[in-house]
Chain A
Amino acid sequence: MSTVTAPSVSAPAAGASSADARGGTGRRRTALLRWLFIAPALLYMAAFFGYPLVRNVLMSFQHYTPTTYFTGEAPFNGLDNWRAVFSDPLFTDALWHTALFTVGSLLGQFTLGLALAVFFSRRFRLSRFVRAVLLLPWLVPMVVAAVVWRRILDQEHGVLNAALQALGLTDGGVPWLSSPDVALLAAVLVNIWIGIPFNMVILYGGLQEIPRDLYEAAALDGAGPWRAFRSITLPMLRPVITVVLVLGFMSTVKILDLILALTSGGPADATQTLGTVTYQMSFLRLDFGQGAVVGNVLILISAVFAVLYLRANRADFGTGK
């Protein structure tokens, strides 16, 4: 993305120098023209990102209830919402669950996605076909996937437990979705399954960009496959890896639909995440102020990672690596 900025920076500079020759009015006109070009983007950002963001922050300091929708009145209540949310043990639990869910999902998705990408970057019979099949989870709507997985993970009649029992790995049947100790793990496993295709596709694309001759040179120098992977593949993939992980993070940290359909946050709140808590506060308890607090925390977490991502990107591309 930032590679594009380099030429665009030089363009206005060129325009400005020609305007200098024509004097003040010309310069003003060019400046105006420049703003006109930027205006649509700015307006769009202000209307669809800026405004909702500001409203959401404001809302978290207001007593915002169904009555507000009728009267338009939402009295400010200072830090009441924030205090209520932060002293709610459910919020602290949800924060912790969200962290575990996100880290677990990303680790699994990324490792398996990378392994598959490396595997498929060798050409072999049917590799294209199998790769296409592996993309399927990506095409399945999240809710459908969750409903299917609910059946697969069923303690008594689920396919997964039947398979595990046939292999002699368990005898009682794992209570995937009905035990608070296992449910979060089950949700992570399902989310890994959903996320693998995305990771695989992007990393596979990245692998195609690495020049073959690097590997040939390394082979001549006597590097084995593991050495080549560590010294060539990983460093060359770095920018792509950052993209995959940050995008993965953004979509995982706000998880809602999968959890609602899989466990509704249960059993005993074991799978409540920040997403489900916002949903619960805003749309079930109809306390939009408190819901907005959790929403803001989510936005803040995402924003921190977005900044990290942009910085990492600048480091990778900006220095001409």
Chain B
Amino acid sequence: MQFRPVLPMVMAGATVALGLTGCAAAPEPGTVTVLNSATDTAEHTKNQKFFDRCAKKFGLRVEQNSVPADQVSSKALRMASSHSLPDILELDGSELPQFAQAGGLRSLRELGVRTSGLSESGVSLGSFEGTRYGIARSVNSLALYYNPDLLKKAGVEVPRTWKELRTAAKKLTGRGTYGFAFSASPNADGVYQFLPFFWSAGGDEARLDSGKGEAALRLWKDLVADKSVSKAVVNWNQQDVNDQFVAGRTAMMVNGPWQVPVLEGQHKVDWAVAKFPVPEAGGKAVPPVGGTVMTVPKSDDREREKNAARILNCLNTPGNQLDWGEAVNNVPTRAAAARTYAEQNPKLAPFAELVTTARSRTAKVGTRWPAVSDALAGAFQSVLTGGSSPEAALRRAQRQATAGE
């Protein structure tokens, strides 16, 4: 999160619009610059290792510039106005449309970056209006984590449908432990977690009030009303949910593969991953696909673009994707690499399977996603806090999401 006082922030934005052209220092010819969100030291080093591995082949050097995840896009916008964008810009998948629409990105086809054999979800994460602008080395999604000890003690099977989920959660609740937990915070975290419920129920992000998504809101509401889920979920981000799980205060949770290092680093609770529960037996779970995509901003210097494309091609060979996926616990986007990944990591196999049906948040609504995301957050927050019925909440959300049109 970006925590800065508003006024300076607004002013900074304004100053930037002036174009700090003088500040754009031209990088050396043999250097490929990257802007990403690898601020964590371990992550930064890991990234550098892969960059170096590829750069060496072409006699290049890669220079990483990392800023916190939610500052990447505003930083990149500032750089765009001063014509100092990096050679490779690594964006969150949901941010790509804004940059693609602005005409700031070179398409992968023009660059000669090979995208054949990529999983559908991987492709959609990096596409805008049918054109591929970004390539994801690996993607993540959400699945059901559970505590096998607690399930066994309560004599509960891993739930596969929503009905089973509700009964299981009820049985698992008691004595300081909730049956189930998810994040319903009014920001990107909560929305990401709401989507697998919303989409699996048939909800449509382009028409929030189509009537199909209501079932998802009703399920969340029922789970909280049953007291199988804490009322505090409206204030929990995904990290908080994981903390609750690790503290043994919840028997099941929704979370992503990025929590694996934390879960592996503790020995208090046992954990396992299952597929996402579906509304009806035989249905298909539609979780969101998340992760970052690497893009190449348009540059006057074709040589720089070419170097960036070389690096992208190298990073995305099946071998390198597999290594990377294992390093960050995400699923490679090359179908072959994903299969090997699932075989080698049986514990995380549900993720590998889920990303084959996973959907990108922006595939349908493109640059309107931020407004839709806000509206969805408003809907589940007002339903969970008792402010409105699922139906009314989604009708209001639809009005809100389309207010600007």
Q: Which of B9, B17, B235, B384 contacts A68 (CB 8 A)?
A: B17
Q: Which of A16-24, A189-197, A202-210, A292-300 contacts B (4 or more CB under 8 A)?
A: A292-300
- Total A-B residue contacts, Cβ distance less than 8 Å: 159
Q: Is the CB of B9 within 8 A of A267?
A: no
Bound: A288/B232 CA distance, A: 32
B333 CB, min distance to chain A CBs, angstroms: 25
What residues of A have a CB within 8 angstroms of the CB of B102 in the complex? 65-67, 69-71
Q: Is the CB of B3 within 8 A of A268?
A: no
Q: Which residue of A lies closest to B100 (CB)?
A: A66
Bound: A157/B384 CA distance, A: 20
What residues of B have a CB within 8 angstroms of the CB of A260 in the complex? 1, 3
Q: Is the CB of A51 within 8 A of B15?
A: yes
Q: Which residue of B lies closest to A64 (CB)?
A: B17
Q: Which of A178, A254, A283 contacts B385 (CB 8 A)?
A: A178
Q: Is the CB of A261 within 8 A of B1?
A: yes
Given contacts A66-B98, A84-B404, A257-B3, whether A266 and B13 have CB atoms under 8 Å apart is no
Secondary structure dominating the interface of B: helix
Q: Is the CB of B80 within 8 A of A56?
A: no
Which has the most chain B C-beta neighbours within 10 Å: A70, A282, A291? Answer: A70
What residues of B have a CB within 8 angstroms of the CB of A106 in the complex? none
Q: How many B residues are at the interface, by size bracket?
A: 35 or more
A residues 283-312 in Cβ contact with B at 8 Å: 283-288, 291-292, 295, 298-299
Q: Which of B18, B70, B382 contacts A268 (CB 8 A)?
A: B382
Q: Which residue of B lies closest to A295 (CB)?
A: B10
Q: Which of A55, A69, A155, A179 contacts B81 (CB 8 A)?
A: A69
Bound: A283/B10 CA distance, A: 10
What residues of B have a CB within 8 angstroms of the CB of A269 in the complex? 186, 378, 381
Q: Is the CB of A266 within 8 A of B185?
A: yes
A304 CB, min distance to chain B CBs, angstroms: 15
Q: Which residue of A lies closest to B235 (CB)?
A: A177
Q: Is the CB of B232 within 8 A of A71?
A: no
Counting CB contacts under 8 A, is B310 at the interface? no
Counting CB contacts under 8 A, is B11 at the interface? yes
Bound: A280/B73 CA distance, A: 14
Secondary structure dominating the interface of A: helix
- Interface code A262-288, partner B: CB below 8 Å = 1, 0 otherwise? 011111111000110011101111111
Counting CB contacts under 8 A, is B103 at the interface? yes
- Interface code B96-138, partner A: CB below 8 Å = 1, 0 otherwise? 0011011110000000000000000000000000000000000
Counting CB contacts under 8 A, is B403 at the interface? yes
Bound: A74/B20 CA distance, A: 17
What residues of B have a CB within 8 angstroms of the CB of A7 in the complex? none
Given contacts A268-B385, A280-B374, whether A175 and B2 have CB atoms under 8 Å apart is no
Q: Which residue of B lies closest to A88 (CB)?
A: B403
Q: Is the CB of A264 within 8 A of B187?
A: yes
Q: Is the CB of A155 within 8 A of B230?
A: yes
Counting CB contacts under 8 A, is B19 at the interface? yes
Q: Is the CB of A284 within 8 A of B6?
A: no
Q: Is the CB of B10 within 8 A of A178?
A: no
- Interface code B69-92, partner A: CB below 8 Å = 1, 0 otherwise? 010011001101100000000000
- A52-B10, A55-B14, A278-B6 are known contacts; what are 4 more A-B pairs with Cβ within 8 Å? A267-B234, A267-B384, A285-B371, A291-B13
Q: What are 21 A-B pairs with beta-carbon distances under 8 A?
A: A51-B15, A53-B11, A55-B15, A55-B17, A70-B80, A71-B102, A84-B404, A175-B231, A179-B385, A254-B7, A256-B3, A256-B6, A260-B1, A264-B186, A266-B377, A266-B381, A267-B186, A267-B381, A268-B381, A268-B384, A284-B373
